[in-house]
Amino acid sequence: MNTIKVGIIGGTGYTGVELLRLLAAHPRVNLVVITSRGEAGRKVADLFPSLRGHVDLAFSEPDAKTLAACDLVFSATPNGVAMTHARELMEAGVKLIDLAADFRIKDVAVWEKWYGMTHACPELVAEAVYGLPEVNRERIKKAALIANPGCYPTAVQLGFLPLLKEKLIATDWLIADAKSGVSGAGRGANVGTLYSEVADSFKAYAVPGHRHLPEISQGLDGFAGKTVGLTFVPHLTPMIRGIHATLYGKLTDSNTDIQLLFEKTYANEPFVDVMPAGSHPETRSVRASNSCRIAVHRPQGGDTVVVLSVIDNLVKGAAGQAVQNMNIMCSFDESLGLHTPSLMP
| Catalytic residue positions, numbered | 151
The residues pairing with 232 across neighbouring beta strands, listed in sequence order, are: 176
Q: How far apart are CA 39 and CA 76, in angstroms?
A: 15
Bridge partners (DSSP) of residue 250 are 304
- Residue 313 has phi, psi (to 5 degrees) of -60, -25
CB atoms within 10 A of CB 117: 12
CB distance 101 to 150 below 8 Å: yes
Could you tell me which residues come within 8 angstroms of residue 154 by beta carbon, excluding any fewer than 6 positions away? 132, 292, 311, 316, 317, 321
Question: Which residue pairs from 81-85 have beta carbons closer than 8 angstroms and sit at least 24 positions apart in sequence?
Answer: 81/9, 81/10, 82/9, 83/119, 83/120, 83/121, 83/124, 84/120, 85/9
Using only C-alpha atoms, the chain has a radius of gyration, in whole angstroms, of: 20
Q: Is the distance from CB of 73 to CB of 9 less than 8 angstroms?
A: yes
**Cβ neighbours of residue 289 closer than 8 Å, sequence gap 6 or more:** 312, 315, 316, 320, 340, 341, 342, 343
Give the DSSP H or E segment for 311. strand 304-311
